[in-house]
């Protein structure tokens, strides 16, 4: 059985990752692909148990090191219980956030030691590096407006509530990752309409999957 394909979606708050993942999954399934949609933090029973602790801010008083370790524990369970088995069976896995979020949120704006973060990533990812990472890039102010509209009367989560300057640093960090790893990362302008973004993403993903992953009958769809 052919190996599957692992695609991660990254970006700041309100970039539209969830919307675009849903649209891409629908398109890929229509093309005949086995598609698994998942997310971080979460995605597996063990990781979902940690999700509320992280997003509620309950771990925040213990500092960024503790948050990074909790994210790592959740990611390790997610990789071994969900992502790796799906890729090994030949599925296309679409994941909302992965290792780059830890690099940016805990590593850069959490000011953690790069060597510590690299060691933590190496252990938790355990070779399951994404085949393709789509970084949805948006101006922080616009992204935060979208996030506020999405949650309505609900409270901002642990990461949404931080200052615009912090969100700007995160945007810069994502763009730096894309510059450093151009073979894996593609930056998508997330300030455009959802339809325009979806078309760009579909073209990028179809090209990345290649003929061996695209059913012949739908190759020109």
pLDDT given at position 155: 63
Integer angstrom CA distances of residue 77 from 22, 38, 83, 145, 188: 23, 13, 9, 33, 29
pLDDT given at position 1: 53
Integer angstrom CA distances of residue 120 from 59, 89, 107, 126: 18, 27, 11, 10
Tokens of 39: 């997310």
Instruction: Kindly list the averaged pLDDT for each block of 10 residues, start to end, along the chain of length 221.
Output: 90 92 98 96 91 82 89 95 98 98 93 95 97 96 80 63 85 97 97 96 95 40 31
Residue keyed to tokens 């252990």: 123
Q: Which of 106, 133, 138 is nearest to 120 (CA)?
A: 106
Q: Which of 113, 119, 98 is nearest to 177 (CA)?
A: 98
pLDDT given at position 148: 75
Q: Go through the domains of the chain in sequence order and give each one's CATH number.
A: 5-39+87-209 (3.40.50.300)
């Amino acid at each position: 059985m052919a190996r599957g394909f692992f695609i991660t979606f990254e970006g700041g708050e309100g970039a539209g990752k969830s919307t675009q993942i849903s649209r891409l999954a629908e398109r890929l399934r229509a093309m005949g692909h086995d598609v698994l949609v998942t997310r971080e933090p979460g995605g597996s029973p063990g990781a979902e148990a940690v999700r509320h602790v992280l997003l509620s801010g309950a771990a925040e008083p213990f500092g960024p090191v503790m948050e990074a370790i909790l994210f790592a524990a959740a990611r390790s369970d997610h990789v071994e219980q969900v992502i790796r088995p799906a890729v090994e069976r030949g599925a296309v896995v679409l994941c909302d956030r992965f290792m780059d979020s830890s690099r940016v949120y805990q590593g850069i704006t959490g000011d953690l030691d790069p060597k510590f973060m690299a060691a933590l990533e190496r252990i938790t990812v355990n070779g399951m590096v994404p085949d393709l990472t789509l970084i949805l890039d948006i101006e922080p102010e616009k992204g935060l407006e979208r996030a506020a509209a999405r949650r309505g009367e609900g409270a901002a989560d642990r990461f949404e509530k931080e200052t615009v300057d912090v969100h700007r640093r995160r945007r810069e960090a994502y763009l730096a990752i894309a510059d450093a790893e151009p073979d894996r990362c593609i930056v998508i302008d997330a300030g455009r309409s959802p339809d325009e973004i979806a078309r760009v993403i579909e073209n990028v993903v179809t090209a990345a999957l290649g003929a061996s992953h695209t059913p012949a009958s739908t190759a020109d769809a």
